[in-house]
Chains A and B, each alone.
Chain A
């Protein structure tokens, strides 16, 4: 396996959106998320010499971003940042027999799984979009994510509507092929 070489010049193009969504899922403030991504790039550049080349660039940047998210919660001194697990065994008689097993999260509760699943889905979709040809992914995200009008996109990119629909079609077909079948259960 050849070692990965870092190419900071293309970081913003390749990973900014991916890192941004990852951060946004954790801090839920767009401005903070943006700052964290920027800081991640800075830190990446600073410590590029330490990169050993046995992870992909993106994995490495995500690892840095994770630290940045934790730092962020420490800095704002939030409850999350101070989190530690404390479990008290109840001493009163009426709660006798309530052991640890009964205090863990309800495995049948769907809510928190939804959030995790949606995040995984988001990252899977982004992975697939990043594999599209550049122009296709541009047209597709303008249309689907930004929700722009066909006319606006055509004007901006200098294409005609039938070009646009052909590109949208190719992009959607490619995404259907790329996204794991598991996502398509009805």
Chain B
């Protein structure tokens, strides 16, 4: 009896520990994001002097207004929307049918094809040969180069292929074949409607990668700033400001403060599409990783 009692106290302590650790880490994840948001619409002077920690101080949307007035940011926003929408579409069109075909044992040579795809995950020509290739193709400083880079992601393809191979009942496809459905008919009318969760996950992965991409602009559009994605514009504008830090040490007047606060508002603006989509997509996260957790 006594032993039992002791055990349950240990159990309680254990529970408290687990919850404390989990909640503490969650707060660590959340707090910087919260800090950005409250700083973005507080009074610029309070922001610049670093007084905004816990609750917003004052209220001002000037930093947002300034950010929206900036032509580069708006152009980058439009470019990023273009790259994300068209790029993700290209990702899906290339990845999903290929993954379906590769899940079929009827496809002769599929082991070789898979090997060819998987090998690129472990070895690549590297940045310079890829750069020379794009230059040779006349793709440098074009919109196309951003769309075409990363058009297929091997891990996403593997997730989709595994899903098709394991989660679509074979009998269903065989029945469709007997009924005279062609392969595209089976694929579009039977297989895809059964794969919505997987399609959601892959779409999410691709769209996030597209939206967050700045390296393609950095490497392959060095001469055309008007084509740069939003992330690249932010890199250009915000990360250069750091060198002027000595200036900020002097008494900050309203505009100098505002200039500083714009960084916060730009972060919010740049993350807005994801923040809006986040609640809708979060139910797919776990499913997605379950699908992705294939061994070997």
Instruction: State yes or no: do A and B come from one complex.
Output: no
Binding site for A on B (CB under 8 A): none
